């Protein structure tokens, strides 16, 4: 039996990092998906193949006047992705008290490990497909909870945000609590035309989470007040979104980017894309996700073409994203 599911990537409109410290966040699924196919095996092994992950495999640097060259690979990110698959299977097997050897195949329509929530999509997709293969139909809340456990275990720290949006889709206002997170699915009266800019990632999520933690330990009042302000931006952003006021939402995205920059998680390349999109007429733009390179998002109704060019001019790779896509969904089940 082979089960294929897909799970969406996401854009954090407002609130990443602060959400790890209990502040709310506003997050939307996007129309780029990651596909996980799980097929039973007769033995107990787990075999994972990853295709189309948009990970450059090899970088060669030649030095002028020398025969020496430097080989760099980006296989670390593939290994990172595999860690989520393995942990998701382990946690699901424990939860169901049942297990099976499997072949897992992953395909992605977006760059993996670039701030679009692909590790959550891998975790949620694997849990959903694997538990179906074992004959169980978990409810979305359970899938999101196991997904969050997977991220926590692989990364050391994680909010429930990425796994909740990948499971439920749409646009969510999410407030972590010590128990079940409070999640509100927002009904939007407006579309959110956005352009995403991608640049190579320089740091891992776990390192960026650590960077913020260390900063907070050394300057707790300053960091807590930044987190508090991000929380207010999220609350005001939610109201703006619900009344369809994209101008105010855009302004809050700009404020949020400044605060993330203050936390030390942005990068020169991300900033270049953020500022060039604003010059091209975006209502708001910010980095999205953990940072350290990766992706930014520009809210730019009617200015998408200009913003795409502006991102390209500073060396980024733009793509359009329709926000508010479906959550995890079954694609096929073959005998
Ligand atoms: C990563 O997409 C978002 C962070 O806030 C981490 C998390 O919420 O788990 C940086």
Q: What is the mean pLDDT of the chain?
A: 91
* Residue 228 β-bridge partners: none
Mean per-residue pLDDT for 223-236? 98
Pocket of ligand 1 contains residue 289 by CB under 6 Å: yes
Pocket of ligand 1 contains residue 161 by CB under 6 Å: yes
**Nearest CA residue ID for atom 8, ligand 1:** 159
Closest to 120 in 3D by CA, of 202, 4, 8, 20:
8
Pocket of ligand 1 contains residue 162 by CB under 6 Å: yes
> What confidence category does residue 81 fall into, taking pLDDT thresholds of 50, 70 and 90?
confident
Q: Which residues contact 246 (CB under 8 A, 6 or more apart)?
A: 190, 192, 240, 283, 299, 301
**Nearest CA residue ID for atom 9, ligand 1:** 158
Specify the pLDDT at position 193: 87
Give burial (CB, 10 Å; 0-12/13-18/19+) of 70: exposed
Compute the distance between CA of residue 1 and CA of residue 10 in angstroms, rounded to an integer.
30
Cα 96 to middle of ligand 1, angstroms: 27
In the residue annotation, 207 being an active-site residue is answered as no
Cα 54 to middle of ligand 1, angstroms: 21
Pocket of ligand 1 contains residue 223 by CB under 6 Å: no
pTM above 0.95, yes or no: no
Give burial (CB, 10 Å; 0-12/13-18/19+) of 229: middle
Cα 290 to middle of ligand 1, angstroms: 5
Mean per-residue pLDDT for 137-151? 97
Pocket of ligand 1 contains residue 19 by CB under 6 Å: yes
**Candidates 162, 207, 272, 326; catalytic one:** 162
Give the angle subtended at the CA of 117 by the CAs of 189 and 322, to the nearest 5°. 35
φ, ψ at 282 (rounded to 5°): -65, 145
Pocket of ligand 1 contains residue 27 by CB under 6 Å: no
Specify the pLDDT at position 60: 42
Cβ–Cβ < 8 Å for 35, 121: no
Pocket of ligand 1 contains residue 263 by CB under 6 Å: no
Ligand 1 atom with least separation from CA of 15: 5
> What confidence category does residue 307 fall into, taking pLDDT thresholds of 50, 70 and 90?
very high
Question: Could you tell me what percent of the chain has a pLDDT over 90?
Answer: 75
Cα 55 to middle of ligand 1, angstroms: 21
């Amino acid at each position: 039996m082979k089960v294929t599911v897909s799970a969406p990537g996401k854009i954090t409109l407002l609130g990443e990092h602060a959400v790890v410290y209990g502040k709310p966040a506003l997050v939307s699924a996007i129309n780029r998906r990651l596909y996980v196919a799980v097929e039973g095996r007769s033995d107990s092994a787990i075999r994972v193949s990853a295709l189309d992950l948009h990970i450059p495999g090899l970088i060669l640097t030649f030095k002028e006047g020398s025969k020496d060259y430097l080989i760099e690979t980006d296989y670390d990110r593939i290994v990172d992705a595999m860690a989520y698959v393995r942990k998701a299977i382990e946690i699901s097997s424990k939860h169901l008290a049942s297990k099976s050897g499997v072949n897992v195949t992953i395909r992605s329509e977006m760059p993996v490990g670039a701030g679009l929530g692909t590790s959550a999509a891998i975790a949620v997709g694997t849990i959903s497909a694997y538990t179906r293969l074992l004959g169980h139909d978990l409810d979305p809340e359970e899938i999101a909870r196991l997904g969050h456990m997977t991220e926590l275990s692989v990364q050391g720290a994680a909010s429930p945000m990425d796994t909740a949006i990948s499971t439920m889709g749409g646009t969510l206002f999410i407030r972590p609590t010590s128990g079940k997170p409070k999640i509100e699915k927002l009904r939007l009266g407006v579309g959110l035309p956005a352009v995403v800019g991608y640049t190579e990632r320089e740091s891992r999520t776990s390192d960026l989470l650590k960077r913020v933690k260390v900063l907070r330990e050394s300057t707790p009042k300053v960091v807590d007040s930044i987190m508090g302000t991000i929380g207010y931006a999220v609350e005001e952003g939610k109201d703006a979104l619900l009344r369809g006021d994209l101008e105010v939402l855009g302004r809050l995205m700009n404020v949020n980017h400044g605060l993330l920059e203050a936390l030390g998680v942005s990068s020169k390349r991300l900033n270049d894309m953020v500022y060039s999109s604003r010059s091209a007429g975006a209502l708001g733009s910010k980095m999205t996700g953990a940072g350290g390179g990766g992706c930014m998002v520009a809210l730019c109704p009617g200015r998408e073409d200009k913003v795409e060019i502006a991102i390209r001019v500073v060396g980024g790779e733009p793509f359009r994203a329709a926000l508010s896509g479906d959550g995890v969904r079954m694609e096929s089940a073959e005998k």
